[in-house]
Each structure stands twice: as structure tokens, then as C-alpha cells.
Chains A and B, each alone.
Chain A
Amino acid sequence: MKLFAQTQLLEDVQGKGLCVGCGACVDLCPYFTTYRGKTAMLFPCDRETGRCFAYCPKAEVDYDEVYKARTGRAFDGTPIGPHLETYKAKAGEKTAECTFQCGGTVTALISCALDNKMISGAVLTDSEGRMPKPRLVRTSEQARDCAGSKYSASPTLSVVNQEAKRGVRNMGVVATPCQALAISQMKMNPTDKPDFEDPVSLVIGLFCTWALDARKLEALLAEKGIEGKIIKADVPPPPAEVFVVETDQGTVEIPLAEVREIIPEGCSICPDMTSELADVSVGQVEGDAGFNTLIIRTQKGAELVKTAISQGYLVTETLDGDKVHNLATASANKKKRALAKAKEMGLLNTPDEEGRAAMRVSEGALNKIQP
């Protein structure tokens, strides 16, 4: 891993507008913070190597190295990444009802992990007003408070850093793909300090095509005159082409074309749709709003799912082949678009003499993805 620090992070990520506000660089030290969905530098730091740069999913990510460290396999460009099994799933009766985004699989798995003390706590994303608000939860009841997707990019990992600093270990995290990537880089402990050992033991990844700029989304909702408390936001599968916002005062649809305007630039170079570096990944199921697509990727993930099923937290069914096929196509398309964009920006496999890259991908993977 090429190690740099704040100066380069500011230049490569903030400076190029690629920050997605994931929170990986936040609260490691006094120099980065997050406020109302935006990551900010407070004071310059003159270190030559540091975790902020090392963890950032948009700066010098060597995909082979990260994938090998996390999954034991190089990054080969397979559409939905390394995995063991795929299912259709939803919360079982042991998981109390609440407003799940889809089938409640995520909340079910987190509840199971917490109740069985497989993790010490879980870093989830709640909301405060119209801003995403990450927090560490200790109980399944608290986990239910965090159910539902906040379509804003959230600085979830800042809470991982805060809690790690306090000495919390063995955390579970519900992460978007960029966050799962950042966590994988944390796990590699690139600066080799015992204090900075991996604080995360379980990653539940979310599918993600894009997130939205939190401040801009807030402004857009205000502009659309949307008032009241948001109960749920959703992007129904094609061909709907709308962003649906349900509040306690009614439901409003905003054309996706308008919403796409407020996607952070950084999302456009993200090649991962299914959180390939998570233990399990969860997303929607096309045309089946009460269920989730569930991808089991690691042994740990498989054990969690097994426990959840056996204890009644989760129920699974088989996922139709055409659904898997469509998912793979969508994933492959995201990879293709992202790599093409990175290449266009000069950020893909940038030769040393020309500067730093956002991502480094092997020849083989490139051949497969065909950006």
C-alpha cells in the first residue's frame, strides 16, 4: 500500500471533489471532522504517512492488495465479487417489527449478532433531522431505531474511529461498499501500530449504486416543499425513475434525473455495487419489496446467517436465477462505468511519474471489466 498523509489526501480527494464523506478519515486525530454530512479538515497536519490517507476509499486503493488481504483472492472483476451463496431473505418472527427498508434482513442479522454477543456493539446509521447520524448501538432495540435507508452519504466510519479510540473492539458495522473498502484497509493496519489494531469484526454490506450529498438532499427536499418527519425514502427498481419520499404528511416523488444531480462525484468512480468486502451483503430484490437479496461472502457471514435462521431472526428462500443474473449485469455495468470514469480522470493505475492514482487494478481485471 502506498502511504501518504493529509496533504495528499486533501489534494487527491477533497481537492478533486471525490470525497464521499464516508468518515474513514474522521476522528482518527484532531484534524478531520464531519459536520452535517461533510468531511472537513480543521488544521493542516505535516506527517508524511497517516491513517487518513491509508483508510480513504478514494485514494491509492490497490484493489489486488486489499482483496487478497480481506478475501484471500486477488481482485478479478467478477461482477458481484467473491461470495459463497446467494439467498432471498427477510426478518423472522424473532426480529420485532419496525419500518425496515425492505425485508429487514440487516436489522435481523445485527439483532442476532448483538443478542448472541457475537459483537460488542454495532455502528449503524440513524438520522437527526434530515441528516444521517451514525451511532454505536448495543441492543437490538436500538438497532431497530436505525432501520431504514438514509440515501445520504453518511460518515458512519467516524463513529468506528471514535469508539476504537475509546478502546471498543469487536464492533459490527453496517456499511456501504466504499465504507466496507475503508474498513478492509483499516484491518490491514497499514501504519503498523498495535494501538490501531482492527476494531471491527463483522461487516454487513449494503448494495449501493450511489448515495446523495446530505446537504444538497436537505436543500432539495426543502426546495420541493417537503415538510414533516421522513418515515422512509426509496428508489424503486427500474423503470420507475423516481425517488420516493414518505413523510408523516404524505408521499412525494422526485424525478431521478433531478436527484442524480446531487450524487457526489466520488460515487462515479466506485466499482462496487454489492459491498464485495463485507461478510454478508444485503440489497433489494427486484419486484419483491418485502424481501432482500442476501449474499454470503465469508465463513463468519455464513455462521451468522445460520445462527439467525436457527434462532428465528431470519428466514431465507432461494433467489431466482434471473434475479442473480440481473444483479450481476447491474454490478458489471457499475464496474465498467466507474473504471471508465477513473481512467478518464487519470486516476486509474496512474504511473508514478504522473502522480497518484485513486485505484490500482490488475491487467486481468481490466480485461474482464472492459472499461
Chain B
Amino acid sequence: MSQLYEGKKGEKVLFMGNQAIARGALEAGVSVAAGYPGTPSSEIIENLADVSKDANMYVEWSTNEKIAVEVAAAASFAGLRSICVMKQNGVNVASDFLLHLVLSGTRGGMVLIPCDDPGALSSINEGEARQFARLLEIPLVEAGDFQEAKDMLKWAFELSEEIQNLVMFRSVTRLSHASGSVELGEIPQTEPKAQFNYKGFILDPVEGPVVSVPVEYRHGLQQEKLKKAEALFEESPFNTYAGPENPEVLVITSSGATLYSREAIHLCNAKDKVGLLKLGTTFPLPTKLIAKHLKTTDKILVVEEVLPFMEENLKVLAQELAPEVGQKTFYGKRSGNIPQTGELNPDLVAAALAGILGQTYAPQDQEYQTKAAQQAFFNAPVRDLTFCPGCPHRASFWSIHNVLAADNRDGFVCGDIGCYSMAFLPCGFSSLKTLHAMGSGTGVASGFGKLGQFGLDQPVVSVCGDSTFFHSGMPALVNAIHHKSDITMVILDNSGTGMTGFQSHPGLPVDAQGNESPALDIPTICRALGATVEVCDPFYPHKTQQTFHKLLEMPGVKVLIMRQICALSPEKKGKKQYEMSVDETICMGENCGCNKLCTRVFRCPGLRWDEEKKTATIDEVICAGCGMCAAICPSGAITRKEVA
């Protein structure tokens, strides 16, 4: 059934970028794939996990990205091909190991696949993995369309084996999560044998131990590998040019911006005067190829997303090449033609290009645009993000908010990463007061919890998802306990990695490939570490709040586990536990004594306010039947009936 594995050579299929990448891995004969979920990267591992048994692969959702890279590296050390996949942030997490790995070098082909998120469509930063390629001194390749997403990955393995080092294959949201046509290649039927050789001389790259010392020697070797990669890049079929021989403007682009640039040239009607040099190998830049193209024109527009990475590297090259190619004028980020933040689109590129060509680009009929803008302003109310109907996080933050407000000592919550990050918004009663990286909530709390010495007398609370707990929450908890910090850590255990699509994690009895696996029990772990631990169900707010109040009064490290399965989990999705209704005769509505607590404050999307009747109602299409609103209604107007 799955075209991913069953699809035959030559067949043309519609694939999402991440499926194309997964197919690329299959065609490359990858044996081991490890990753940690993160939008927009997750579908790569998910797709591979689905076919892993047929394809004789080992696929895992690792506990965090650093471990994912380590697991993949082991495969490489044993002579197998491996990939590790993560969202850009994951590279930050893995960077320490990576910096050593690139010194020790790899054996079996190994490719790191970070997926960046320009415009932060599903992130809370706009960080870039490209910068790491330079920092790590490893080759960087980037696909410009869906076909390349598959084909280049296979090529990246050949490159990795050629230079015996890690290669970075970077994707972005608009490639990973977009879909396009892909012509399939062959999946090799091989049975690779794993063997780790270490008995050779310490400097022997194939038979010796794999270490990063002696550093200077290995660093030099690493730079030679990079030179070799550059030489190979000169001939790469993934660097392509389309356009006139001597274009008025040369557009140099890569990755997702390729499709925008192509369309922009079309929008500007400028095919005959603008050339498009699309680079698949973006670090290190192939000098000769660049020199050849620089010679053809004086004006160069660099089109890339977020920071001027290519632009700066190109400028350095252009300066070195100036005697040969002459002085060039560059347009891009530093000239202000292309924005340095946010994602690009065809319009932005077209506007930049038109500007350089002395044309104007007016995408929309002005009159229509004005009218539509007005109508949308008045009639299309903004759709703010919110927790899903029936989401346990809404219930958890209801209790967290109420307890901290009642406690009345200016207590605050240090936030963390997951669906529950949204609790800094009104949907989580604006509870989060700090929000940074995975695991940081409890780390920051651990620090706050030591400031009593300087007069801080506010209760310190952190929240942490179950997946985040294993990823990086545990070391922070250990730190807090060891240093007798005064904090209450709330673990929001919704039985999965919710935000990214319900991937498994070490707390669950199943792994990525669907095998039964030992589930690590969070309460047991926290108790063993020495914390005072309580477990509650956020759908019982009264009990939850009592327990939370009690813990808040105690000194030291307390852990409160709020446990309730995610509304979107396969177990729950589409199944209502309760049939809900509002008794109009009891509902107090806007009156003193309620004033629309359910719709105005609690704000579950399953509720509606009936402006005519002046009562709340249930939107049965949206309501997930969790019953929580019945628990908060002050008048008992909302009733729930168990669904048989």
C-alpha cells in the first residue's frame, strides 16, 4: 500500500518533501535512522519507521537530538549508512557531540538532516542550521525541489563516504511540508553487515579507534576533507543555471527560495534578461563555478531566507576573485532588497527583482485589494491559536492559574516547549512568564528557586511536557533537587509528544517502529531522584488545586504530575466521553455571579455564547466531550452525560 517503499523505479508520485527525503534514504540504502520529533522534520522518521521492518532498517525516536546523532554515528562507525533527523533547534542540542564527531570523522555514510523553519511557522525562534555547517566545517547541501530532495540525499551519502565525514542536508518548512511530483529510483536490496573495527593504529581512519585527538592533526585532516568536497561540488549536477548567457541580473539562490525565484522571474516577465543560478551545494561554495557565473554579469541578487549566509560567503569569494571577474554589485539582505527575517514568497522576490530591473511589481488589483482588506477587517475576526477542544492543558493551566492567583504571592510559571507553550496566550490564562528552549523551564526555575537568599519570596513553578521531561527536563530537575532549590515542577503528562504529532517517547510502552518497549514511569523516576511527588487528573480541578496548593506551601523540590491523555491522541480522537448540554434555565450568563465564565474566561472552542438567548451553548461539532466545562460552571448549568 505504501508508495514510499513499494513504489517502483520510474514511477511518478506526489510526495511531501519529507516523504521524498525518506524515499531518498531508502534508495541510499540507509540502515539506521534516528531523530527527535520537531516540525517540520518529523515525517521523515515517521515514514521510515512505518516501512522499517520491510526495509530492514532500525529507526528510533531518540530521547533527544544529541542522542539521535550519537545513535546514528554508532551505525556509521560500524560501517552502515545512517541519518539523523531533527528540527533546527535539535542541532543546537546536538552541537557538542557534532563538533567532536566531525573531528573523528565517519565511516559508513552519515547525513545530518536538519529542517529549518524560516518565518517560525511552527517554532519560537528563527535559528538556522546553515550556520552550523560553517562552524562544524562540513559540507552543506540543499535541495531546490522535491525530486532533488530525494536524489540529493542519495548523493550526499556518496559524498560522506568519499570524504569520510558527516554531510549536512538541510531542508526548510516549505520543502519538507510542501508536496510535489517525484520520479522514484531503485531501492537496493542489500544486507549490510555491521562491524566496528578499532584494533588498528590510532590514526587509521578505517581500522583505528574513533576519537577526536590529536586535535590539530585531525582538524587539518578535516579541512582537507572540506576542500575535497568543494572540488566535488564544482561538478555537482545539483548546481544548475537557466537563463541568458549574459544576464542583466544574475539571481543566485538555493533551497526553498529556488521555486520562489523561478516564479518571480516569471512574474516580472524577465526570462530573457535574468539568469537563475540555483546552488545545491551551498557550503563550501564551488569557487570555479561561481567565478564562471560572476563573469557573465555585474548585478547579482542573492535570494535566500533569513540571514545572509550565502550572500556573505559569495561576497568573500567575489572579493578574492575580483582581479579575475571584476567588481560586482550585490543585492540581497545587506542592501535591504530582501528581508533578513521571516520567510520569503514569490511576491517578495518579484518585488526585489523588479526594483533592480527598474520595473514595478503590483501583484493585486488596487481597488479590489482595498475592498477585500476592508471586508476582511470587519468580517473575518482573527483566529488566535488556542488549545484544542478537550485539551488537558487548558484544564491544567486553569488550575495552575487559579492556584497561583489565590495563593497571592506573585508566583509565576517558567514555561517550556510543547503544545503547552501556548499557555503564555489567553488560552492558557497567560500563565507562562518565561519561555525559551526545551527543558529550560525547569532549569530557569531551579535558578529562581535559589534566589530566596536575595529576598525572592515568590513561589516558583515550572511546567514540562512528558516528552520534554525525558528530552532535557530531567537534568534540570536533578539540578534543582541537588541544590535544594525551592520549586514546584508540574509535569503535563498527556501520554505523547503532542505538538509534533504524537510520537512515542521513553515514557510509553511502544517505540517508533511499533515494538513493545519498557515504559519509564515518570513518578517513580522523580521519587527516586528525591522529589516529593503527587499525581492528579486535571479534569478534576478541585482535587488538583488542593494538591497543588499543598505542594506550593512545602519547601524544596516538589513534582506534580497532571496526567490526562491528549485530546488528539489516537485513543481519544473523535470519541466523546460525555454528551454535553447547557440548561438555559439555570445558566447565569452575563449576570453577577458568573458573567460568562465558560466562554469569556475558560474559552474552550466547544462552547458558544448565544447572543439572543444570553446563555452559553455547546457547539456539538467542535466539543470533544471532555466534561471539563461542567466542572467549572459556577451554577451547575452545564451537564454531562456519559456516552455509552
**Interchain CB contact under 8 A, A40 and B592:** no
Q: Which residues of B contact A51 (CB under 8 A)?
A: 592-593
CB-defined interface of A113-135 with B at 8 Å, one 1/0 digit per residue? 00000000000000000000000
Q: Is A30 an interface residue (CB 8 A)?
A: yes
- Partner of B592 from the list A35, A165, A193 (CB cut-off 8 Å) is A193
Inter-chain CA distance A26–B585, complex, in Å, is: 24
Q: Which residues of B contact A29 (CB under 8 A)?
A: 592-595, 597, 634
Enumerate B584-607 residues with CB–CB distance to A below 8 Å.
590-595, 597, 600-601
Inter-chain CA distance A36–B402, complex, in Å, is: 14
Q: Is B640 an interface residue (CB 8 A)?
A: no
Inter-chain CA distance A35–B546, complex, in Å, is: 11
Inter-chain CA distance A49–B595, complex, in Å, is: 11
- Partner of A191 from the list B401, B408, B592, B634 (CB cut-off 8 Å) is B592
Q: Which residues of A contact B593 (CB under 8 A)?
A: 28-29, 51, 165, 195-196
Closest CB in chain B relative to A3 CB, distance in Å: 10
Number of B residues, CB within 8 Å of A: 19
- Partner of A30 from the list B429, B590, B632 (CB cut-off 8 Å) is B632
Q: Which residues of A contact B405 (CB under 8 A)?
A: 33, 40-43
Interface residues on A, range: 20 to 34
Q: Which of A5, A43, A165 has the most CB of B within 10 A?
A: A43
Q: Which of B408, B591, B601, B632 has the most CB of A within 10 A?
A: B408
**Interchain CB contact under 8 A, B549 and A35:** yes
Closest CB in chain A relative to B199 CB, distance in Å: 68
Inter-chain CA distance A180–B502, complex, in Å, is: 57
Q: Is A45 an interface residue (CB 8 A)?
A: yes
Q: Which residue of B lies closest to A35 (CB)?
A: B406
Enumerate A167-210 residues with CB–CB distance to B below 8 Å.
191, 193, 195-196
Q: Which residues of B contact A36 (CB under 8 A)?
A: 407
**Interchain CB contact under 8 A, A33 and B406:** yes
Q: Which residue of B lies closest to A37 (CB)?
A: B408
Q: Is A46 an interface residue (CB 8 A)?
A: yes
Closest CB in chain B relative to A110 CB, distance in Å: 29
Q: Which residues of A contact B594 (CB under 8 A)?
A: 29-30
Q: Which residues of B contact A196 (CB under 8 A)?
A: 592-593
Q: Which residues of B contact A52 (CB under 8 A)?
A: 592
Q: Is A50 an interface residue (CB 8 A)?
A: yes
**Interchain CB contact under 8 A, A42 and B592:** no
Interface of A is mostly: loop
Q: Which residues of A contact B590 (CB under 8 A)?
A: 47
Inter-chain CA distance A195–B587, complex, in Å, is: 13
- Partner of B595 from the list A34, A35, A45, A195 (CB cut-off 8 Å) is A45
Q: Is A38 an interface residue (CB 8 A)?
A: yes
Q: Which residues of B contact A42 (CB under 8 A)?
A: 401-402, 405-406
Inter-chain CA distance A354–B537, complex, in Å, is: 50
Inter-chain CA distance A50–B591, complex, in Å, is: 9
Q: Which residue of B lies closest to A33 (CB)?
A: B406
Enumerate A41-77 residues with CB–CB distance to B below 8 Å.
41-43, 45-47, 49-52
**Interchain CB contact under 8 A, A30 and B408:** no
Q: Which residues of B contact A195 (CB under 8 A)?
A: 593
Closest CB in chain B relative to A130 CB, distance in Å: 12
Q: Which of A28, A38, A40, A165 has the most CB of B within 10 A?
A: A40
A50-B592 contact, Cβ under 8 Å, with A35-B407, A35-B408, A40-B406: yes
Inter-chain CA distance A238–B601, complex, in Å, is: 52
Q: Which of B402, B549, B632 has the most CB of A within 10 A?
A: B402
**Interchain CB contact under 8 A, A28 and B406:** no
Q: Which residue of A lies closest to B634 (CB)?
A: A30
Inter-chain CA distance A338–B212, complex, in Å, is: 79
Q: Which residue of B lies closest to A46 (CB)?
A: B595
Q: Which residues of A contact B634 (CB under 8 A)?
A: 29-30, 165
Inter-chain CA distance A28–B593, complex, in Å, is: 6
Enumerate B173-198 residues with CB–CB distance to A below 8 Å.
none
- Partner of A47 from the list B401, B406, B592, B632 (CB cut-off 8 Å) is B592
Inter-chain CA distance A191–B634, complex, in Å, is: 19
Q: Which of A33, A36, A42, A46 has the most CB of B within 10 A?
A: A42
**Interchain CB contact under 8 A, B402 and A49:** no
Inter-chain CA distance A21–B632, complex, in Å, is: 24
**Interchain CB contact under 8 A, B601 and A43:** yes
A38-B408 contact, Cβ under 8 Å, with A29-B634, A30-B632: yes
Enumerate A155-169 residues with CB–CB distance to B below 8 Å.
165
Inter-chain CA distance A249–B374, complex, in Å, is: 76
Closest CB in chain B relative to A152 CB, distance in Å: 15
Q: Which residue of B lies closest to A34 (CB)?
A: B406
Q: Which residues of A contact B597 (CB under 8 A)?
A: 29-30, 43
Q: Which residues of B contact A165 (CB under 8 A)?
A: 593, 634
Q: Which residues of A contact B429 (CB under 8 A)?
A: 43
Q: Which residues of A contact B600 (CB under 8 A)?
A: 46
**Interchain CB contact under 8 A, B408 and A40:** yes
Inter-chain CA distance A40–B406, complex, in Å, is: 5
Inter-chain CA distance A191–B600, complex, in Å, is: 22
Inter-chain CA distance A52–B594, complex, in Å, is: 12
Inter-chain CA distance A230–B627, complex, in Å, is: 43
Closest CB in chain A relative to B156 CB, distance in Å: 54
Q: Which residue of B lies closest to A54 (CB)?
A: B592
Inter-chain CA distance A246–B615, complex, in Å, is: 54
Inter-chain CA distance A31–B592, complex, in Å, is: 10
**Interchain CB contact under 8 A, A47 and B408:** no
**Interchain CB contact under 8 A, B592 and A49:** yes
Inter-chain CA distance A31–B597, complex, in Å, is: 9
Q: Which residues of A contact B595 (CB under 8 A)?
A: 29, 31, 45-47
Closest CB in chain A relative to B455 CB, distance in Å: 14
Inter-chain CA distance A196–B588, complex, in Å, is: 12
Q: Which residue of A lies closest to B591 (CB)?
A: A193
Q: Which residues of A contact B601 (CB under 8 A)?
A: 30, 43
Q: Which residues of B contact A5 (CB under 8 A)?
A: 592
Inter-chain CA distance A173–B508, complex, in Å, is: 54
Inter-chain CA distance A41–B404, complex, in Å, is: 11
Closest CB in chain A relative to B404 CB, distance in Å: 9
Q: Which residue of A lies closest to B429 (CB)?
A: A43
Inter-chain CA distance A34–B590, complex, in Å, is: 23
Closest CB in chain B relative to A157 CB, distance in Å: 15
Closest CB in chain A relative to B394 CB, distance in Å: 14
Closest CB in chain A relative to B602 CB, distance in Å: 9
Closest CB in chain A relative to B506 CB, distance in Å: 37
Q: Which of B401, B406, B594, B600 has the most CB of A within 10 A?
A: B406
Closest CB in chain A relative to B546 CB, distance in Å: 11
Closest CB in chain A relative to B398 CB, distance in Å: 10
Q: Which residue of B lies closest to A5 (CB)?
A: B592
CB-defined interface of B390-418 with A at 8 Å, one 1/0 digit per residue? 00000000000110011110000000000
Closest CB in chain A relative to B631 CB, distance in Å: 12
Which 7 A-B pairs rank lowest in CB-CB distance, beginning with the nearest? A35-B406, A50-B592, A40-B408, A29-B593, A42-B405, A38-B408, A33-B406
Beyond A46-B595, A51-B593, A196-B592, 8 additional contacts (C-beta under 8 Å) are A29-B595, A30-B594, A30-B597, A36-B407, A43-B429, A50-B592, A165-B593, A193-B592
Q: List 27 A-B contacts (CB under 8 A).
A: A5-B592, A29-B593, A29-B634, A30-B597, A30-B601, A30-B632, A31-B595, A35-B406, A35-B407, A35-B549, A40-B406, A40-B408, A41-B405, A42-B401, A42-B406, A43-B429, A43-B597, A46-B600, A47-B590, A47-B592, A47-B595, A49-B592, A51-B592, A52-B592, A165-B593, A193-B591, A196-B592
On A, residues with C-beta under 8 Å from B are 5, 28-31, 33-36, 38, 40-43, 45-47, 49-52, 165, 191, 193, 195-196
On B, residues with C-beta under 8 Å from A are 401-402, 405-408, 429, 549, 590-595, 597, 600-601, 632, 634
